[in-house]
Amino acid sequence: MKSKLWLGVLALVLAAGGTALTALYANGNSNADDVADDQVPAADAAAPDPAAITRGAYVAVQGDCAACHTKPGGNAYAGGYGLQTPFGVIYSTNITPERDTGIGTWTERDFFRAVRHGKRQDGALLYPAMPYNAYVKMNDADLHDLWAYIRSLKPVAQAPTPNTLGFPYNIRLAMLGWNLLYFKNAPYVAEPGQPAQWNRGRYLVDGAGHCGACHTPKDALGGDTSAYLQGAELLGGYAPEITGNPHVGVGSWSIEQVAQYLKVGSNHMAVAAGAMGEAVEHSTQYLNGPDLAAIAVYLESLPGSGAQAPAAISANDPAMLRGAHIYETQCMACHNVQGQGIDGMVTGFADNPGIRALSPSNLISTVLKGGRAAVTEGNVTGAGMPSFAWRLDDADIAAVLTYVRNSWGNAAPAVGSPLVSKARAAVHAEPVLDKQR
């Protein structure tokens, strides 16, 4: 009897081990990249077709490649940009076709495997700060063109900056486990029941656009949760829900208003700033009209979190009364009497899903640090907001944000002063001046 039991246990262990090995093989299989050339290094290849370079430049814009692979004030695509993560700083690499410090010795197949499967030329695994878990959905034609564009770049000699990841996150082999949990090794497959425009939007959002990298919440290991595009905390900021939910998503915006926001950086109520402002400046403003419309159609089709408006806090609540006074004296000059803002320049608060987002982190950070709107070809103003950290204490900021989140058609939970205090320390904001002076 005991021998049969042990045989049964052994069979289960072997089956589990076999399943795990099968999953690891399927997860790490990069044979799809064999379509790419593996003979000619980038630095030795003949000049690519100009038409392919043009198409590839557009693919690079879709993927926002320059934003991460260019450090502030540095040479384009030469790397050195520090990507802040909860585990440490990961620095982007030099992807110009320079032999010693860039990817000049890489072949097209090396490039495909790095982009779509997170594998360096030497076989080492990349960290998912490089969003290969999204780029795996990019098709062969787009990657061929992207390779043509990358090969056309001016070679720049710039050695990579070492990452600052602590143990055990500095062990690249651990990415085998991460990939097994979070990397779906599968190309994009169009939904047969959806129109071409919807499928194009999904391809851009889930692939090159890698929108989920910011807008999908992460678990403790940095992997995507099932709350797809439903808003995520980002090291002191908040990437809001971008589904069709009308309360906290983009469901109350028209297709044209979503496309305008991505193209210009502002629309009838919202002005892109911070990380989203950078995405607009470097990427979405350069997308063509049909692609912007496709993205909007896809996003608005998503049901999202289902979050609904709570009852608005009473205007007679002490925090609301205090917030109304602060708004009148500190905010009204720019944001207007009824929270209308200034079209294309100053965010409007009235009936704004971004104002009533589930997390007030963005609002708190903006009041503490100030901000600058995206500068685009369609809106060169790039208006800025000054920091109020020195002028308003934590209770003041909590009160005024509670007020704007519950006025002019908005309804959202109150903002507590302890949350503001925590944010002030996290962003190293100035202390408030002594009001008694």
Q: Three-class SS string for 353-417?
A: CCCCCCCCHHHHHHHHHCEEECCECCECCCCEECCCCCCCCHHHHHHHHHHHCCCCCCCCCCCCH
Q: Which percentage of the chain shows pLDDT scores above 90?
A: 74
Given pLDDT bands bounded at 50, 70 and 90, which one contains residue 36?
confident
Q: Is the pLDDT of residue 185 over 60?
A: yes
Alpha carbons within 13 angstroms on the beta-carbon side of residue 389 total 20
**Can you tell me the distance from the alpha carbon of 121 to that of 134, in angstroms, rounded to the nearest whole number?**
20
Least confident of 7-11, 30-34, 213-217, 400-404: 7-11
Of residues 133, 107, 96, 98, the one with CA closest to residue 118: 133
- One-letter amino acid at 334 equals C
What distances in angstroms separate CA 293 from CA 57, 188, 201, 256, one per listed residue? Answer: 20, 19, 8, 7
Of residues 113, 134, 111, the one with CA closest to residue 183: 134
Q: Which percentage of the chain shows pLDDT scores above 70?
A: 93
Are the CB atoms for 297 and 198 separated by under 8 Å?
A: yes
Given pLDDT bands bounded at 50, 70 and 90, which one contains residue 5?
low
| Number of helices (H), then strands (E), in the chain | 17, 6
Counting beta carbons within 10 angstroms of the beta carbon of residue 341, is it exposed (0 to 12), middle (13 to 18) or buried (19 or more)?
buried
pLDDT confidence of residue 437: 41
Are the CB atoms for 238 and 362 separated by under 8 Å?
A: yes
Q: Is the pLDDT of residue 222 over 80?
A: yes
Range 376-400 average pLDDT: 92
Backbone angles phi, psi at 379, to 5 degrees: -155, 90
pLDDT confidence of residue 398: 97
3-state secondary structure of 39: coil
Average pLDDT in the chain = 91
Residue with tokens 């690249």: 172
Range 93-122 average pLDDT: 96
- Architecture of the domain made up of 318-426: Orthogonal Bundle (1.10)
pLDDT confidence of residue 1: 53
pLDDT confidence of residue 436: 45
List pLDDT tens digits, range 324-361.
999 999 999 999 999 999 888 899 999 999 999 999 99
Given pLDDT bands bounded at 50, 70 and 90, which one contains residue 18?
low
Given pLDDT bands bounded at 50, 70 and 90, which one contains residue 24?
low
List pLDDT tens digits, range 190-203.
999 999 999 999 99
**Can you tell me the distance from the alpha carbon of 290 to that of 18, in angstroms, rounded to the nearest whole number?**
46
**Can you tell me the distance from the alpha carbon of 281 to that of 375, in angstroms, rounded to the nearest whole number?**
6
Could you give the dihedral angle defined by the CA atoms of residues 104, 107, 113 and 114, in that order, rounded to the nearest 10 degrees? 0
Residue with tokens 């052994």: 10
List pLDDT tens digits, range 225-248.
999 999 999 877 899 999 999 999
Which residues fall within 8 angstroms of residue 7, CB to CB, at 6 or more apart? none
Q: Is the pLDDT of residue 178 over 50?
A: yes
Six-digit token pair at 50? Answer: 């100009």
Given pLDDT bands bounded at 50, 70 and 90, which one contains residue 218?
very high
Six-digit token pair at 51? Answer: 């038409």
Backbone angles phi, psi at 70, to 5 degrees: -135, 120
Q: Is the pLDDT of residue 293 over 80?
A: yes
Apex CA 216: angle with CA 210 and CA 221, to 5°? 100
Given pLDDT bands bounded at 50, 70 and 90, which one contains residue 186?
very high
Q: Is the pLDDT of residue 150 over 70?
A: yes
Q: Is the pLDDT of residue 392 over 80?
A: yes
Region of 357 on the Ramachandran plot (φ > 0 left; ψ -120 to 50 alpha; else beta): beta
Six-digit token pair at 362? Answer: 């963005």
pLDDT confidence of residue 367: 95
Backbone angles phi, psi at 186, to 5 degrees: -150, 140
* Between 20 and 94, the higher pLDDT residue: 94
Range 273-300 average pLDDT: 96
Domain ranges of the chain: 33-182, 318-426
Are the CB atoms for 424 and 390 separated by under 8 Å?
A: no
pTM value is 0.91
